[in-house]
A and B are shown apart, each in its own frame.
Chain A
Amino acid sequence: MTTLLAIGTGKGLFLATSDDGRRSWRVDGPHFPMTAVYAVGIDRRRAAPRVLASVTSSHFGPSVATSDDLGRSWHEPDHAPLAFPEDTGATLERVWQFAPASPAEPDVVYAGTQPSALFRSVDGGVTYEMVRELWDHPHREQWGAGFGGQAIHTVLPHPDDPARVLVAMSTGGVYRTADGGRGWAPSNTGIRAYFLPDEWPEFGQCVHKVARDATEPDRLYAQNHHGVYRSDDGGSSWSSIADGLPSDFGFPMVAHPARAGVIYNFPLVRDGERFPVDRRCRVFRSADAGKSWEPLSDGLPAEPYYPSVLRDAMCADGADPAGVYFGTRSGEVYASRDEGDSWSQVAAHLPDVLCVRAAEV
């Protein structure tokens, strides 16, 4: 079995593969050099896994490329795979997220973009149409832009019900549809927005990442711009699970692919001090849905550590035991083949890591 680890960086896509149970890695790349790869996807629903790459040139604009042979060749349509309809007056900055839909819709892939919009593909992620109803939402004019731009960075199709999709944006918060995208409602009850005069608004939160529990689809976990939360009702309400963490600030939130209640994040000190807590490189794991947390650092650098981990720069693969991976803004990538208990370095000295995704292929 080969494990593929796709590493999107500020200057291209690197593909790491392991054929020995994730003990050693061969790193290939960069594909699309001098482009920012903010999102990658590995769609395993197809006979040949499809790799999707968000490729943005600072000169020549954004695009999406796909590969059905694990990066040996890439396909890009002649005409723009994603484009805002003319009447919107908007132009695509970049794709921030790919989300293959449930197995019931094997050719459907969602994409979250900057500016904040949701696109839907029915040809396996090659071409996309904008989901008009979310773009037309009356709240949209009040959605803001974080430092990284205004984007939908999280898309979570429900695994059992194709009509239900959850998205999260910075800023704006969480929105859900239960009717296949025709109606969208904010879902931020319980998530604090300390940076607004009304700290408990209906929307406007800066949710950094949302992950869905492996076995309970209505259980969700959110890393917020200060605040770590869990929802047990599909996002209708949220409650804090930050007790036990050294900080409630950070970007990624990753759910174990198979074990209920197991999640990972990478805490930073605070908004105004975006360094790892105590300057130590540590992943935090909860095995009880956020009731308690434990630091994981075996094999990670022991010296004072300053790089941060961005919202999509942490992931898990689908193996058993699960592999967990993260990349840093200083171009290091670490992997654990034992669910986070121990770590080893996959790569170093890469450009800043924007995203990682891994799967058995």
Chain B
Amino acid sequence: MQELKPNVRVEENKILLRVNKSFYDFETVENVKKQFEQIADVLTIDTKTDTLIEITPIQKLKSEEMEIIGYEFFNRLLNTIKEMRNE
């Protein structure tokens, strides 16, 4: 199995995500980003293969809680993809 860079990482008060553009398109990421803007500052950086996302929660959270926010972002991406495909 190929070794991949981590998708979710927590650094101090930031959650760093690496989203593979082959599976999650720009429109989907923007859609989910809007949902998270109520609880955090969200910054996206576009690279050739990935979208890098930096989430800074407004409230101070534990490292485990921040990690869960990161993973929840991915589940919401999947939800959005399914909704878009069903339309």
A and B held together in a complex: no
Residues of B within 8 A of A (CB): none
